[in-house]
Amino acid sequence: MKYTIVEMYRTVITEAHRNFIKNHFTYNPDRSMRMYRERFFKNNPNATEEDFSSWIYHHMCGDWEEDIIWMTDEQFKYQWPVICSFIMDYYSEEDQNNIVGEV
């Protein structure tokens, strides 16, 4: 069964995970804008400068915990790629642990 990002989030992400995400994956003004630009265009090679400006504005001012509820999986993956990967990886790890525990 394929789960959505929000279902994975509701299943395995705890307050400790939310704090970890906040401290490590959300917008950090101390990081170089160049790093954000490089990461964005690496993930979206056909994007325009306007796309980047819109993305970085939302990334700086948006709230991933609100977005995860209303965005589609693709929209969330586009806007919050690192957080999306963290949730999917952690969910996959938890799922594997449950499968091993059932054997």
pLDDT at 70: 92
How many domains is the chain partitioned into structurally? 1
Q: Residue 6 domain-assigned? A: no
Residue 88's identity, in one-letter code, is: M
Q: Which domain holds residue 85?
A: 38-97
pTM: 0.73
pLDDT tens digit sequence for 68-103: 999 999 999 999 988 898 888 877 766 655 544 443
Query: Is the confidence at residue 24, as pLDDT, over 60?
Result: yes
Q: Residue 15 domain-assigned? A: no
Residue labelled with tokens 């993305």 = 55
pLDDT tens digit sequence for 35-48: 888 889 999 999 99
Longest dimension (CA), the chain: 51
Query: Is the confidence at residue 53, as pLDDT, over 90?
Result: yes
Q: Who's near 83: CB < 8 A, 6+ residues apart?
A: 21, 25, 26, 64
